[in-house]
Chains A and B, each alone.
Chain A
Amino acid sequence: MEVPILKQGLYLIASIQSALTDADLSQLREALIQRVGKFRARGVIVDVTALDVMDSFAVRTLRDIAHMARLRGAETVIVGIQPEVAFAMVQLGLTLKGVSTALDLEEGLAFLDRQAQERIERTRGRIIRG
């Protein structure tokens, strides 16, 4: 099942609606990385609220998405990891090291906005200091 990807301002939001096969996850990765360029997106949110399980393949794919998107100039944040899913991930030994996470979509958007703001301030600081 294809994951719908919405464009909201400078961000892309991939909202997973149901359990995904490995092929679905790989397809999502390709689609997101391609669309980061097409829409000149600065941020990517992957909403995993509806994922029943995060196993090693899902975690690896999400990590790949985040790293690839960063190479393309966009920050990724994973939102909506359910408490049971988090518990099972830790037991499995799966971490999302190097990948930003937020509680839900609202927090994810706020996180990306903060990142964008910091980027602007850093640039401004450089200009003022000359």
Chain B
Amino acid sequence: MAEELLVAITSDLDVVSARQKGRELAAVAGFSSGDQTVIAAAISEIARNILMYAKRGEISLRTVLNGDLDGLVVVARDQGPGIPDVTRALQDGYSTSGGLGLGLPGARRLMDDFDVVSAPGKGTTVTMKKWRRRHA
């Protein structure tokens, strides 16, 4: 249950692979098909962010237990240029890549917990979680 699934992100093929693995893990963990799609969409956005800004990185997927909650944890790590202003990067429509500026704020809306640690030159780590109540 606690084992970690690592997906290296180096091409747009890996973006598809990461979101498919995330969906599979979410299905095994008992998430509804709606939640599976939501999780896959969030993974797609942050995996593409890795490609766009850092060129390469990795996504780790695992399940966790917290009381009567089952969770799926997605961690996206890269050693890219980092985000100078995280607060701003989390605002809708803010993009330095010419994209839609929906990547980070969109993924945050899709997930329950969302955390970004980043500094210029130090890379970026995005940790996001989705929870579901375990049925007895």
Contact = CB atoms under 8 A, between A and B. Distances in A.
A101 B114 CA distance: 32
Contacts of B16: 19-21
A83 B34 CA distance: 8
Contacts of A87: 34, 37-38
Interface string B9-45: 0001101100110010000000001101110110011
Given A87-B38, A92-B110, A93-B92, A53 B102 contact: no
A65 to B, nearest CB: 16
Contacts of A106: none
Contacts of A84: 33-34, 36-38
User: Secondary structure at chain B's binding surface: helix, strand, loop or mixed?
Assistant: helix
Contacts of B36: 84
- Specify which of B34, B37, B92, B102 lies most central, judged by the most chain A CB atoms within 10 Å of its CB: B37
Interface of B: 12-13, 15-16, 19-20, 23, 33-34, 36-38, 40-41, 44-45, 48, 92, 99-100, 102-103, 105-107, 109-110
15 contacts: A19-B16, A19-B20, A20-B16, A22-B12, A22-B15, A22-B48, A52-B20, A55-B41, A59-B100, A84-B33, A84-B34, A88-B110, A93-B92, A93-B102, A93-B109
